[in-house]
Amino acid sequence: MRDYRHYDTQVPGGLLPAGSSVHHMMVTLTLNDELVVQDVSTRMAATPFSACLEIESSLKAMIGARIGNGWRRAISDRIGGTNSCTHLRELLINMATAALQTIPTWKAQQLKAQGQSAIDRPHYLGHCHAWRLDGPVVKRLFPQFHQPTLQESHEPD
C-alpha cells in the first residue's frame, strides 16, 4: 500500500514534498494449502512517524491463524488496537480475498491433473456478483450449482 499526495503537506516532522509517500507498506503472507499462515513479513518503507516502525514485526502474531470464517476476528484478537497498525491490519483483511481465490483454484487444478475430481462445490460461489448462483458465469461454468431466479425458472428454453 502506498499513499502519497500530489501537493506539499505539512506533517509533524516538517514538510512532506509533493509525490512523497506518507505510507508505503508491504505485507507478504506465506500460507499452506489449508490457508494457515506459515509466515508473514512486513516492510514499512515510509511511515508518518518513526514510532510506526516499532510494530513492523507485529504481524508475526498471525502465524498459525487460518484464513476463512473468523479471519477478521483473528486479526482483531491477535493484533488489534495498539498492538499493530490500522493499515497493516487492513492489508491482511484484503489479502484473504486473494488467498481464497488462489489456493483452492490451485488445489482443484492439481486434483484434475492427477485425474481426480475437483472440489464438489467451489467455496467462492455465491460470494460476489460474478459468482452469484443465479448469474451467467455460474450457469456456464458450474451449471450443477446454478440456481435460476423465479422468473428465469418459468421462462421457456
**pLDDT tens, position by position, 92-137:** 999 998 898 888 778 878 888 888 876 677 777 888 899 899 999 9
pLDDT at 156: 61
In the three-class reduction of DSSP (H, G, I as helix; E, B as strand; rest coil), residue 73 is classed as: helix
- Indicate whether 13 pLDDT > 80: no
pLDDT at 110: 83
Q: Are residues 62 and 133 in the same domain?
A: no
Contact 105, 123 (CB under 8 A): no
In the three-class reduction of DSSP (H, G, I as helix; E, B as strand; rest coil), residue 39 is classed as: strand
- Indicate whether 36 pLDDT > 60: yes
Instruction: Give the global pTM.
Output: 0.74
Q: Are residues 76 and 38 in the same domain?
A: yes
Distance between CA atoms of residues 44 and 51, nearest Å: 11
Q: Are residues 110 and 49 in the same domain?
A: yes
Instruction: Provide the residue range defining the domain that includes 145.
Output: 120-151
Q: Which of 13-17, 92-96, 147-151 has the lowest mean pLDDT?
A: 147-151
Residues in the chain: 157
**Number of folded domains in the chain?**
2
In the three-class reduction of DSSP (H, G, I as helix; E, B as strand; rest coil), residue 88 is classed as: helix
Q: Are residues 67 and 16 in the same domain?
A: yes
Distance between CA atoms of residues 150 and 136, nearest Å: 15
Residue 157 lies in a domain: no
